[in-house]
């Protein structure tokens, strides 16, 4: 099947504002300790058992490319969170890519969770990731 295998660690930082917005930042750290220059950012809020996007996603903060038709849906249970995000990216040359991202957190305890994620571009799998997350600090 081919592809590139990367090994490393994920750092996930969570911040909650006084208005109840949850801001999540994801960083990939290579085995040599260097961080990737890509930062995954989500701004969301909890409404019952749903996770909803806060604001509008109109530009990718990493590439400055236009984002269109953004939708975000998350489901929260006692021990899991599942998120699906769909959108189109308009490239600098005008090409349009359809993106679909999924993230699934399964909480093993108060301090550990398994996270899996996938990124599809134009219905082709680009990234599949899994990691064991541990709370620090």
Distance CA 64, CA 104 (A): 27
Distance CA 73, CA 76 (A): 10
**58 within some domain:** yes
**97 within some domain:** yes
CATH number of the structural domain spanning residue 63: 2.40.128
**2 within some domain:** no
**52 within some domain:** yes
**93 within some domain:** yes
Mean pLDDT of 94-100: 96
**43 within some domain:** yes
Distance CA 27, CA 36 (A): 7
Assess whether pLDDT exceeds 80 at residue 87: yes
**1 within some domain:** no
Query: What is residue 11's three-state secondary structure?
Result: strand
Mean pLDDT of 78-87: 96
pLDDT tens-place string over residues 53-74? 998 889 888 888 999 999 999 9
Number of domains in the chain: 1
**4 within some domain:** no
Whole domain around residue 110: which residue ranges?
A: 9-134
Mean pLDDT of 78-104: 95
| Confidence band for 3, pLDDT divided at 50, 70 and 90 | low
pLDDT of amino acid 7? 80
Please state the three-class secondary structure of 26-75 as a single string.
Answer: EEEECCCCCEEEEEEEEEEEEECCEEEECCCCCECCCCCCEEEEEEEEEE
């Amino acid at each position: 099947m081919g592809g590139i295998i990367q090994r490393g660690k994920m750092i996930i930082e969570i911040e909650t504002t006084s208005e109840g917005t949850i801001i999540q930042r994801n960083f990939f750290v290579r085995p040599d300790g260097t961080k990737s220059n890509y930062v995954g950012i989500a701004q969301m809020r909890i409404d019952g058992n749903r996770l909803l996007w806060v604001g509008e996603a109109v530009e990718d903060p990493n590439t400055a490319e236009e984002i269109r038709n953004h939708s975000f849906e998350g489901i929260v249970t006692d021990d899991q969170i599942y998120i699906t995000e769909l959108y189109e990216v308009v490239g600098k040359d005008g090409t349009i890519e359809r993106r679909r991202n999924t993230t699934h957190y399964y909480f093993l305890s108060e301090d550990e969770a398994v996270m899996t994620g996938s990124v599809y571009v134009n219905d082709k799998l680009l990234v599949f990731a899994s990691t064991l997350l541990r709370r620090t600090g």
